[in-house]
């Protein structure tokens, strides 16, 4: 009987020791967490600041002063639009030492070309009504806009020599050339002819609706009306 009481006492003491030990361990762990949390927070903030320094976000601040240089009235009849994609290769220093000093990029250009007829060039001498027929000398078609779409245009690839960081103006040169090439491609594809045809069709319908059943449009602008 005494042995049972002794074992019960030992077990009770062990249980008390286990409970007290668990409480102490929990208190130590909680204190450790409270001490580590500010350090982790500071480390995260420091990492964020370092990342901001290494990869800065550009801040663009427009000047509040605006200067309008010129204001002109326009009477352009836009009759066709081309969307053009062109691949431009720009390079320099591609000789014997190209591996060391060369610079080459491939630029994929997306752009728009808009053409039509400038009706402000019409004068009273360009319009005549004879025997119920309206004769109209139409100005020659023109390219109004040939520009890049910067959101869709991009540098596909760039390779620089081992001893050079590349020319900072090479991409700008490629963009300027791309605009010229986009306009050239549209002209070669016949955009001006289509602009003239669309202008003739539109003006013929418009003038017919205004009460001129027969309209003859002369696109090549002769020296005198028939």
Q: Tens of pLDDT along the chain (226 residues)?
A: 555 555 565 566 566 666 656 656 666 556 655 654 554 555 556 556 556 555 666 677 777 777 877 787 678 889 999 999 999 888 776 666 555 767 888 899 999 999 999 988 888 888 888 888 888 899 999 999 999 998 999 988 878 766 667 677 888 888 899 999 999 999 999 999 999 999 999 999 988 888 888 888 887 644 333 3
User: What's the rounded Cα separation, in Å, for the pair 127 and 182?
Assistant: 35
User: What's the rounded Cα separation, in Å, for the pair 81 and 180?
Assistant: 16
CA triplet 145, 182, 74: central angle to 5 degrees? 10
Q: Report the predicted TM-score, pTM, of the whole model to 2 decimal places.
A: 0.64
3-state SS string for 86-148:
EEEEEEECCCCCHHHHCEEEEEEEEEEEEEEEEHHHCCHHHEEEECCEEEEECCCCEEEEEEE
* Backbone φ/ψ region at 121: left (φ over 0), alpha (ψ -120 to 50), beta: alpha
């Amino acid at each position: 009987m005494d042995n049972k009481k002794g074992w019960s006492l030992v077990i009770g003491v062990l249980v008390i020791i286990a409970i007290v030990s668990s409480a102490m361990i929990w208190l130590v762990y909680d204190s450790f967490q409270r001490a580590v949390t500010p350090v982790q927070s500071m480390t995260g903030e420091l990492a964020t600041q370092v990342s901001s320094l290494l990869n800065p976000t550009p801040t663009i601040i427009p000047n509040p002063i605006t200067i309008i240089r010129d204001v002109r009235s326009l009477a352009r009849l836009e009759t066709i639009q081309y969307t053009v994609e062109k691949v431009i290769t720009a390079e320099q220093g591609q000789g014997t030492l190209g591996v060391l000093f060369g610079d080459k990029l491939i630029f994929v250009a997306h752009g728009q070309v808009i053409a039509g007829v400038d009706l402000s060039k019409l004068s009273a001498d360009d319009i005549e009504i004879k025997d119920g027929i309206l004769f109209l000398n139409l100005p020659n078609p023109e390219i109004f806009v040939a520009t890049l779409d910067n959101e869709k245009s991009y540098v596909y690839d760039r390779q620089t020599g081992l001893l050079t960081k590349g020319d900072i103006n090479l991409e700008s040169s490629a963009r300027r050339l791309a605009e010229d090439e986009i306009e050239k491609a549209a002209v070669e594809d016949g955009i001006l002819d289509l602009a003239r045809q669309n202008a003739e069709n539109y003006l013929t319908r418009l003038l017919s609706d205004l009460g001129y059943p027969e309209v003859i449009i002369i696109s090549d602008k002769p020296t005198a009306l028939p």
